[in-house]
Chain A
Amino acid sequence: MFASLLGKLNTDALPKDLVTAGGAASMVFALLAIAGFLTYKRRWTWLYREWLTTSDPKKIGVMYIIVALIMLLRGLGDALMMRIQQATSVGAHQGFLDANHFQQVVSAHGTIMIFFVAMGLMFGLINWVVPLQLGSRDIAFPFLNATSFWLFAAGMALINLSLIVGEFSAAGWLAYPPLSELQYSPGVGVDYWIWALQIAGVGSLLSGINFFVTIIKMRAPGMSLMKMPMFCWSVLGTMSLVIFAFPILTATLGMLALDRTIGTHFFTSGGGGNAMMYVNLIWAWGHPEVYILVIPAFGVYSEIVATFSRKPLFGYKSMVGAIWGIVFLSFIVWLHHFFTMGAGADVNAFFGIMTMLISIPTGVKIFNWLFTMYRGRIQLTSPMYWFFGFIMLFTLGGVAGVILAIPPADFQLHNSLFLVAHFHTMIVAGVVFGYMAGLTYWFPKLFGFKLNEKLGKYAAVCWIGGFVLAFTPLYILGLMGATRRMDHYDASLGWQWLFIVAAFGVGLILLGVGFQILQFIVSIVLRDNHRDLTGDPWNGRTLEWSVSSPPPKYNFALIPKADKIDAFWAAKQDKSASKTPEYEDIYLPKNTPFSMIIAGFAFLVGFGITWHIWWLALASFVGIIASIAIRTSDEETEYRIPASEIKKMETAA
């Protein structure tokens, strides 16, 4: 009786081998250490009131970024394990991971880096910057936004739990069937993967709607769409992609879950299923997803290059056109991920040509950044270091992409390390560098002090150098025929030295990460030395720099007028005296624990289904519905800050 109440869960689920046990133990230890520290400092109430229940997008952004950076460390740990395995597991020497464990590490690395690092950094920066750049006090649906974050956190918790209880998927980051079907993956790994992504994916979808509406409906007076900062344009493009792409992911994961739990035949090898349909569907989401990640990074670069070149962004309209060109094209290229499916020459030719066409709007953007810098007064700040790393590597990676877009070439390169090197160039040099630059750039706005520039530059140089060292060998190995997800190879192939070089590259990246950690510590400890008292530490161009650092919780005491591109820059040039401001009452959303509660139930639904604990899944699902009903019956979700208080706060600053 008791056993059936726990579904498939029993003590066998606890880690048995040394590597997993070590990982699990260090995670549990870290959690206990944090809990102990909070108890010692008596900070639990503070944490609950100021952070866990907040509806303020600035704070939610901070939480996104903290989660993403911690997950970055885990993803890098996975990367290091893979590099060590591949550098040592040659010929007679077996590596320290067995084949199944290696596949789990590969799958976890991909899933975590895309869903919980890149997406987290992206939504974090969007939460920080978009309302401020729009001249808005808040976003469209603050409660929904907090719920999105907590769903993201719930997915993250589920994927990390798989390290301690049970196992993770060994079916790759996209879990292709039939391998991911029950017949070939009978364990709970794929279920963990499905529900972590499903929960986080719903969160992303809700965020997509939220920021889409925010940008369409909540811009400052005078800010027509064609006067928006470029970062907001890039977010609008990305959110449109989220709106169109994420429902496909929800449906696809749902169908795979049905196959595994109630015995449908969508993607099974027997019973009239069609595995290639999964591959089509997952890439119909997956390709746009890549652009979802990179377009806001393009937006970050646009802001940074303009600011640090002391010039308006070159070719504003062509930039906007390029964003929408990429948005449109991203939906008609998905088949290039599987030219080898055998769709025939005509279909492959169409998708190959569409793929190559993407290099045109991307090229437009590259040249626009270069022309923005041309004859500008370039300041070599650390965000610019990231940008220079990006523009060199991304262009090279793009050229590799055009090679892969040629179907006959792809037949050779498909599933090789050449492909792995290509997409890492796009996602590390494109996405991660962009968000690191953005993090450095907007950090003083959110916290009121700058990050240490010198350590930031060291970190950027190590990342860039380490990246080149880690992935150039992979391009070469791919051309030599090395396939991806390979846990062992023959010594006679002569590949080992290249893998060793790549492992050193990861070491250099880790050194860069070390500099970043040091950068955070040094900057926080010595924050009084580099406080930003003006609110405008970089001599910025857009509205977020017009308020104090950190901004008041209502962002703008007076809603600014923005009738020019780079409205704040224009206002700084116009020295005419401003009138005495007239303050008004401001309404802000109250804190609420319901976002966290709903996501907590979602976590339990995922956990329950993963382990077939049906009563738990059902009860938690009812819990979600009840929480929504209770929350929506609360009519007083906002509180008022009276004008007199705002006047006091504004004049004190």
Chain B
Amino acid sequence: MNNREVMEERNEAKTLFGFWTYLMTDCVLFASLFATFAVLRHNTFGGPGGAELFNLPFVLAETLILLTSSFTCGLGMLYANRGFKNISLALFSVTFLLGASFLGLELHEFHKLAIEGNSWRRSGFLSAFFTLVGTHGAHISAGLIWMIVMITRVNLKGLTPRNLQRLKMLSMFWHFLDVVWIFIFSIVYLFGVI
């Protein structure tokens, strides 16, 4: 190995470590929003609370779609690591479609709440709800944009080391969002309905 290759390898190690660190900062960001939600969840200001608003089967469908997308993302990564470009691309495309459907369902839920007069302006509880779930949704959107960019790039240039490294980061990001969603599902929706 020449100097350049050694450097590339070190670069990958430190980039992945750096991305992990970034994910931890994102974790703190979500923790702040969760804490806010916990403080404000009973501040309904005369408006409806979670029990009246949340439709659990609907949210369960969202959850299953997102979990499946994480699964296809994981498979896509495994194939990418072994150099199967086309299968990997197909799996990431499926991931994208699942992610987009999740986002569509979430926007549908938001829209329904808003037209029924229960938007973020209604109460502290709803402000915290929209912001926490919406921040997750914004991350999902960023992930979807990133996925389009990566699918295009892998398609054009193949599974180069650099593309592979970026796919690794993308899949870390996607799994991280999945974990955050599990917390949202339990803390916001399940506890909200109790």
Of listed A141, A217, A272, A281, residue having the most chain B CB within 10 A: A272
A218→B10 CA distance, assembly (Å): 9
Q: How far is it, in angstroms, between the C-alpha of A632 and the C-alpha of B153 when the chains are bound?
A: 10
Does B7 make an interface contact (CB < 8 A)?
A: yes
- Quick check: which of A186-194, A243-251, A357-365 contacts chain B, the rest being far away? A243-251
For chains A and B in complex, what number of residue pairs have CB atoms within 8 angstroms? Answer: 115
By the criterion CB–CB under 8 Å, are B32 and A274 in contact? no
Report if B25 contacts A (CB, 8 A). yes
Quick check: is B123 within 8 A (CB to CB) of the other chain? yes
Contact of B36 among A141, A262, A281 (CB under 8 A): A281
- How far, in whole Å, are A262 and B3 apart by their CA atoms in the complex? 54
Instruction: List which B9-67 residues lie within 8 A (CB) of chain A.
Output: 10, 13-15, 17-18, 21-22, 24-26, 28-29, 32-33, 35-36, 39-40, 43-45
| A258 in contact with B127 given A244-B28, A265-B45, A587-B4 (CB within 8 Å) | yes
Max chain A Cβ within 10 angstroms of own Cβ: one of B10, B15, B36: B36
Residues on B with C-beta less than 8 A from A208 are 25
Interface string of A449-465 (1 = CB under 8 A from B): 00000000000000000
A265 contacts B127, C-beta separation under 8 Å: yes
**B151 contacts the other chain (CB 8 A):** no
- Does any Cβ of A come within 8 Å of B112's Cβ? no
CB <8 Å contact, A209 and B22: yes
Cβ of A342 to closest chain B Cβ, rounded Å: 16
In the complex, the answer to whether B32 meets A272 with C-beta atoms within 8 Å is: no
Residues from chain B with a CB closer than 8 A to the CB of A235 are: none
B-side interface mostly: helix
Scoring B residues 130 to 152 as 1 if CB is less than 8 Å from chain A, else 0, what string do you get?
A: 11000000000000010001000
Interface residues of B in 151-167 (CB under 8 A from A): 153, 160, 162, 166
Bound complex: CA A434 to CA B145 (Å) = 44
The residue of chain B having its C-beta at the shortest distance from the C-beta of A210 within the complex is: B18
A213 contacts B18, C-beta separation under 8 Å: yes
Which one of A246, A264, A584 lies within 8 Å of B130 (CB-CB)? A264
Q: Are B18 and A209 in contact (CB under 8 A)?
A: yes
The residue of chain B having its C-beta at the shortest distance from the C-beta of A267 within the complex is B124
User: Is B125 close to A, CB under 8 A?
Assistant: yes
Q: Are B39 and A587 in contact (CB under 8 A)?
A: no
Q: Please tell me if A298 contacts chain B, counting CB pairs below 8 Å.
A: no
In the complex, A625 Cα to B146 Cα: how many Å? Answer: 10
- Contact indicator A625/B145 (Cβ below 8 Å): yes
Are A633 and B153 in contact, CB atoms less than 8 angstroms apart? yes
**Residues of chain B lying within 8 A (CB to CB) of residue A210:** 18
Does A330 sit within 8 A of B, measured CB to CB? no
Q: Give the dominant DSSP class at A's interface.
A: helix
Which residues of chain A have C-beta atoms less than 8 A from B131's C-beta? Answer: 254-255, 258, 264, 266
Nearest B-chain residue to A218, judged by Cβ = B14
Q: Flag whether B110 is at the interface (Cβ < 8 A).
A: no
Asked if A273 is an interface residue, CB under 8 A from chain B, the answer is yes
Contact present for A248 and B32 (CB under 8 Å) = yes
Residues on A with C-beta less than 8 A from B177 are none
Partner of B149, one of A218, A270, A271, A629: A629
**Is the pair B21, A273 in contact by a Cβ cutoff of 8 Å?**
no
* B188 within 8 Å of A (CB atoms): no
B28 engages A140 (CB within 8 Å): no
Instruction: Please tell me if the beta carbons of B3 and A212 are within 8 angstroms of each other in the complex.
Output: no
Query: Given that A255-B131, A266-B127 are known contacts, is A272 also in contact with B36, CB under 8 Å in the complex?
Result: no
Which of these, A213, A216, A246, A277, contacts B25 with CB under 8 Å?
A: A246
Is B121 among interface residues, defined by CB-CB distance under 8 A?
A: yes
A263 beta carbon closer than 8 Å to chain B: yes
Q: Select which of A140, A274, A587 is within 8 A of B43 by beta carbon.
A: A274
Asked if A635 CB lies within 8 Å of chain B CBs, one says yes
Across the interface, do B127 and A140 meet the contact criterion of CB distance under 8 Å? no
B91 touches A (CB below 8 Å): no
Q: How far is the CA of A244 from the CA of B145 in the complex (A)?
A: 27
Does any Cβ of B come within 8 Å of A585's Cβ?
A: yes
B103 CB within 8 Å of chain A: no
- A248 neighbours in B (Cβ, 8 Å): 28-29, 32
A252 within 8 A of B: yes
Distance in angstroms between the alpha carbons of A413 and B44 in the assembled complex: 36
| Residue A205 is within 8 A (CB to CB) of chain B in the complex | yes
Cβ contact within 8 Å between B24 and A243? yes
Inter-chain contacts of B89 with A (CB < 8 A): none
User: Which residue, B4, B25, B130, B160, has most C-beta atoms of chain A within 10 A?
Assistant: B25
Quick one: CB contact mask for A195-223 with B, threshold 8 Å, 1 for yes? 00000000001001110110011100000
Residues of A close to B32: CB separation below 8 A: 247-248, 251-252, 281, 284
Distance in angstroms between the alpha carbons of A217 and B45 in the assembled complex: 51
Known: A258-B127, A263-B120, A272-B44. A247 touches B39 (CB 8 A): no
Bound Cα distance A449, B22 (Å): 39
* CB contact between A264 and one of B25, B120, B166 (< 8 Å): that residue: B120
A419 to chain B, nearest CB (A): 26
Asked whether B98 is an interface residue with its Cβ less than 8 Å from the other chain, the reply is: no
- Given A217-B14, A247-B28, 9 more contacts at CB 8 Å? A141-B15, A218-B14, A251-B29, A252-B32, A265-B43, A265-B120, A265-B124, A272-B44, A587-B4
Q: Which residues of B are at the interface with A, using a C-beta cutoff of 8 A?
A: 3-4, 7, 10, 13-15, 17-18, 21-22, 24-26, 28-29, 32-33, 35-36, 39-40, 43-45, 120-125, 127-128, 130-131, 145, 149, 153, 160, 162, 166
Q: Can you sample 21 A-B contacts with CB below 8 Å?
A: A140-B14, A209-B18, A209-B21, A216-B17, A217-B10, A244-B25, A244-B28, A248-B32, A251-B36, A254-B131, A258-B131, A264-B131, A266-B127, A270-B45, A271-B122, A271-B123, A272-B125, A281-B32, A587-B4, A629-B149, A632-B166
